[in-house]
Amino acid sequence: MNDKTLQDAIVIASYGIQCRIETADKSLLRAKSLKSAGKTLCGDRVKYKTEQNNEIVITEILPRTTILSRLNNLNPKPKQIASNIDQMIIVISVTSSIKFGLIDRYLIAAAFSGFNPVIVINKIDTIEPQALDAVKQAMQIYADIELPLFYMSAINNIGIDSFLSVTENKTNIVVGQSGVGKSSIVNAILPSMPAITKEISESNNKGKHTTTTAYLYDIPNNGKLIDSPGIREFGLWNIEKNDLAKGFTEIQHTGEQCKFRDCSHHNEPGCAVVAAVKAGNISQKRYDSYLSIFESLDT
Question: Tens digits of per-residue pLDDT, 178-237?
Answer: 889 888 898 888 877 666 544 333 333 444 434 468 899 999 889 999 988 766 556 677
pTM, to two decimals: 0.87
Domains of the chain, CATH where assigned: 7-61 (2.40.50.140), 67-227 (3.40.50.300), 241-296 (1.10.40.50)
| Average confidence score pLDDT of the chain | 88
Check whether 50 has a pLDDT greater than 80. Answer: yes
- Nearest Cα to Cα of residue 36 among 58, 65, 14: 58
Packing angle, helices 100-113 and 284-296, rounded to 10: 70
- Nearest Cα to Cα of residue 226 among 213, 236, 235, 209: 213
Check whether 42 has a pLDDT greater than 80. Answer: yes
Ramachandran category for residue 252: left, alpha or beta (phi over 0 → left; psi -120 to 50 → alpha): alpha
Pairing relation of β-strands 7-15 and 18-23?
antiparallel
List, for residues 236-266, the tens digit of each pLDDT value. 777 899 999 999 999 999 999 999 999 999 9
- CA pair distance 196, 292, nearest whole angstrom: 36
Check whether 95 has a pLDDT greater than 90. Answer: no
**Which residues have a Cβ under 8 Å from the Cβ of 76 and sit 6 or more positions away?**
none
- CA pair distance 154, 122, nearest whole angstrom: 7
Note the residue count of the chain: 299
Tell me the CA end-to-end span of the chain in Å, nearest whole number.
42
Contact 45/31 with Cβ under 8 angstroms? no
- CA pair distance 37, 147, nearest whole angstrom: 38
- CA pair distance 47, 23, nearest whole angstrom: 10
Phi then psi dihedrals of residue 74, to 5 deg: -90, -15
Cβ neighbour number for residue 144 with a 10 Å cutoff? 13
What's residue 117's pLDDT?
97
